[in-house]
C-alpha cells in the first residue's frame, strides 16, 4: 500500500441515497440505521472482540461525493446559509482532505458470516467508505462545559403531519420498512430545506431507502403528501 493511502474496511449501507434530507449531525434521527459489512481481511470475529462492551463508536469515513472539492470558507445552515466561516470551523464535507467523523450507537454485532455491524442514528450517505471504528469513551470524550460556537443547543424541531394519501401509502410500505414513520418524522423534524427556503407552496422530494417522499412545509409544519417507489435513476 502506498505511503499515506487509506483503505476502506467496508461500505456503510444507510437509508440515504441522496444528500438532501440527511440529518446534519449524528443521533438526530435514532431510527436511521446503518449496516457495515467488513471487507476482507478485516472481517474476522477477533477484530471486533470486546466491541460489544461499548454502546457507541466513532466512525472515520470519507466524504466520497465531495472528494477533490474544497473551499476555505463555507456557509453553515445554523447561520442561515448566508454567513461564512472558515472550513476548519465547520463540519462541512468540502474539506482539503475529505475525512469525516461520526458518533453512532452500536446496536448489533453479527459474526456468523464475516462481520456485520448495525448502527443507529447515522448521518451518512448510502455507500460511504468507512476507514476505521473506534469505541467512544465518555469520561475522555464528553465535555459538557465545552463551548460549541455557533451550534449551541439542538436544532428546532418541526411538527410532522401526513395527508390521508400519505398515511395509506405509509401503511402499504410498513411491511418492508416497519420504522419508516418514525424515521420520516425524525428526518423532517430537522427541516432539511435550505435555510433561505420559505415558499409554502413548494413541494420537496426526499429519498429514503427505495422510496420517494413528497412533502411541503406550511405554517412551520412539515406535511408528507405522498410516499411512492422511487424510479431507478442511478443516483446510488
- Above pLDDT 70, what percent of the chain? 96
CB 6, CB 129: distance < 8 Å: no
State the pairing for strand pair 56-62/128-135: antiparallel
| Amino acid 233: pLDDT | 53
What does the alpha-carbon distance between residue 106 and residue 52 come to, in Å, rounded to a whole number?
8
DSSP secondary structure code for residue 117 in this structure: E
- Residue pLDDT, tens place only, 161-193: 999 999 999 999 999 999 999 999 999 999 988
- Asked if residue 134 has pLDDT above 80, the reply is yes
**Does 190 or 194 have the greater pLDDT score?**
190
- Asked if residue 1 has pLDDT above 50, the reply is no
Q: Which of 115, 29, 100, 21 is nearest to 67 (CA)?
A: 100
Q: Which residues of 206-218 are buried (b: 16+ CB within 10 A; e: fewer)?
A: bbbbebebbbbbe
What does the alpha-carbon distance between residue 8 and residue 35 come to, in Å, rounded to a whole number?
14
What does the alpha-carbon distance between residue 183 and residue 208 come to, in Å, rounded to a whole number?
9
Owner of C-alpha cell 446496536? 107
CB 166, CB 55: distance < 8 Å: no
Q: Which contacts of 208-217 are long-range, i.e. CB under 8 A and separated by 24 or more positions?
A: 208/15, 208/16, 208/21, 208/180, 208/183, 208/184, 209/15, 209/177, 209/180, 211/173, 211/177, 211/180, 213/184, 215/188, 217/158, 217/191, 217/193
Summarize the confidence of residues 221-228 as an average pLDDT: 96
Cis before 41 (ω within 30): yes
- Asked if residue 3 has pLDDT above 70, the reply is no
| Strand boundaries in the chain, DSSP class E | 10-13, 33-38, 56-62, 73-74, 85-86, 99-110, 116-120, 128-135, 160-162, 204-208, 211-218, 221-229
Summarize the confidence of residues 127-156 as an average pLDDT: 90
What does the alpha-carbon distance between residue 124 and residue 79 come to, in Å, rounded to a whole number?
22
- Residue pLDDT, tens place only, 30-85: 999 999 999 999 999 999 999 999 999 999 999 988 767 888 999 888 887 778 99
- Asked if residue 125 has pLDDT above 70, the reply is yes
Confidence band (pLDDT; 50, 70, 90) for 235?
very low
List the grid coordinates of 217: 412545509
| Amino acid 236: pLDDT | 41
The whole model's pTM is what?
Answer: 0.90
Name the average pLDDT for the chain.
91
| Amino acid 185: pLDDT | 97
What does the alpha-carbon distance between residue 210 and residue 189 come to, in Å, rounded to a whole number?
21
Amino acid at each position: 500500500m502506498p505511503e499515506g493511502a487509506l483503505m476502506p474496511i467496508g461500505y456503510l449501507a444507510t437509508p440515504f441515497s441522496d444528500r438532501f434530507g440527511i440529518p446534519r449531525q449524528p443521533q438526530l434521527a435514532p431510527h436511521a440505521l446503518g449496516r457495515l459489512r467488513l471487507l476482507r481481511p478485516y472481517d474476522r470475529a477477533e477484530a471486533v472482540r470486546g466491541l460489544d462492551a461499548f454502546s457507541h463508536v466513532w466512525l472515520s469515513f470519507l466524504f466520497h461525493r465531495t472528494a477533490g472539492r474544497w473551499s476555505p470558507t463555507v456557509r453553515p445552515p445554523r447561520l442561515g446559509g448566508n454567513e461564512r466561516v472558515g472550513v476548519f470551523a465547520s463540519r462541512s464535507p468540502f474539506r482539503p482532505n475529505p475525512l469525516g467523523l461520526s458518533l453512532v450507537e452500536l446496536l448489533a454485532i453479527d459474526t456468523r458470516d464475516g462481520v456485520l455491524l448495525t448502527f443507529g442514528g447515522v448521518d451518512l450517505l448510502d455507500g460511504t467508505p468507512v476507514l476505521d471504528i473506534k469505541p467512544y469513551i465518555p469520561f475522555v470524550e464528553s465535555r459538557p462545559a465545552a463551548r460549541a460556537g455557533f451550534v449551541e443547543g439542538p436544532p428546532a424541531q418541526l411538527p410532522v403531519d401526513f395527508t390521508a394519501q400519505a398515511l395509506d401509502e405509509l401503511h402499504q410500505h410498513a411491511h418492508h420498512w416497519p420504522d419508516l414513520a418514525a424515521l420520516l418524522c425524525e428526518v423532517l423534524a430537522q427541516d432539511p430545506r435550505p435555510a433561505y427556503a420559505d415558499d409554502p407552496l413548494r413541494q420537496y422530494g426526499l429519498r429514503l431507502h427505495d422510496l420517494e417522499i413528497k412533502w411541503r412545509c406550511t405554517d412551520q409544519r412539515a406535511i408528507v403528501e405522498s410516499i411512492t417507489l422511487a424510479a431507478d435513476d442511478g443516483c446510488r
